[in-house]
Amino acid sequence: MILVTGAAGFIGSQLIKGLNARGVTDIIAVDDLTDGDKFVNLADCAIADYLDKDDFRARLATGKLPRLRGVLHQGACSDTTERNGRYMLDNNYRVTLELFEYCQQTSLPLLYASSAAVYGAGPDYREDPVCEAPLNVYGYSKLLFDQVLRRRMTEGLRAPVVGLRYFNVYGPREQHKGRMASVAYHHMQQFQAEGHVRLFGGWDGYADGGQQRDFISVADVVAVNLHFLEHEGPSGIYNCGTGRAQPFNDIAMAVVNTLRAERGEAELPLDELVGQGLVRYVPFPDDLKGRYQSFTQADTTALRAAGYEQPFRDVATGVAEYAREWLGGDRRAG
């Protein structure tokens, strides 16, 4: 039995589909379906049982969980603009710590979602405390447990624990995330509704749409998780990104040109997309200045050294896959 928290969410539901594709259906799905529309992410998944997050936490405290062989902990508040630190630390840090203690007591492998938000403004994105300076309480909530894991690793672990620092993940099943959904998702919605997409204008030394992030397809995130689950480690904190920074303009181009191609229209370079008003820039928001990552790029040295060898999709490939699935009309794609 494998337990997946955040199971009705973006990455959690994709992990369940990835397990299903490998013939694994003995899965306990944990989530909060107060937002009932998230059921759509689980509707095509094969699971053995579902637990509400509060019921799960109560069972965790009393040790009344079934026999498990692994935990994929994705449940968290991922809203980087959330300012309620009490809520954030309970939801993201304390629950992870409780699950960690249970897994250590029962010798159970644990994979959990950390975040590239721990690095703040960078510019170095490697798994080293000297690089870590979160810009918001979300990033701090993730860093706090990473620090616990580091301390406990020096004392010795009873079971493998892997933390994956997700960079900018995009792909199907993120439709419920609202404003926290990927730029690719918002661009697909904008282009369908308005015939153009919008990006932030220049700021922080970058040209219009030129801020760069390490954008990673959720398909690659699933592959990394399942690699560590199958190999039971090695324990540690690893970046989960492509190692390739690309400008937001690349996302816009991939979305617009893919959707245009489906209409039989020619692919256009960025300058023509801008010239025709298909890509437009809006002033950089004042409230994000000083709290925004203008550049991220995962250092994948540790990930590769841990044995993960598969290549990662670039933006043109991954976003085009996403856009084509979205055009296919799957509600989970948007």
Residues annotated catalytic, as ranges: 138, 177
Pairing mode, if any, of strands 212-213 and 246-247? antiparallel
DSSP 186-215: HHHHHHHHHSSEEEE--BTTB-TT--EE-E
Are 27 and 6 spatial neighbours (Cβ–Cβ below 8 Å)? no
Which of 187, 236, 218 has its CA nearest to residue 312? 218
Query: Is the peptide bond between 285 and the residue preceding it cis, with omega within 30 degrees of 0?
Result: no
Write out the two tokens for 223: 């592959």
Task: Give burial (CB, 10 Å; 0-12/13-18/19+) of 172.
Answer: buried
Strand partners, 70: 2
> Residue 188 in contact with residue 326, Cβ under 8 Å?
yes
Q: Which of 134, 85, 122, 281 is nearest to 201 (CA)?
A: 281
Q: What is the DSSP string of 228-285?
A: HHHHT---EEEEES-S--EEHHHHHHHHHHHHHHHTTPPP--HHHHHHTTSEEEEPPP
Residue with tokens 């308005």: 194
Q: Supply the DSSP string of 125-145, one letter for each residue.
A: -SSSGGG---SSHHHHHHHHH
Tell me the β-bridge partners of 162.
Answer: 111, 236
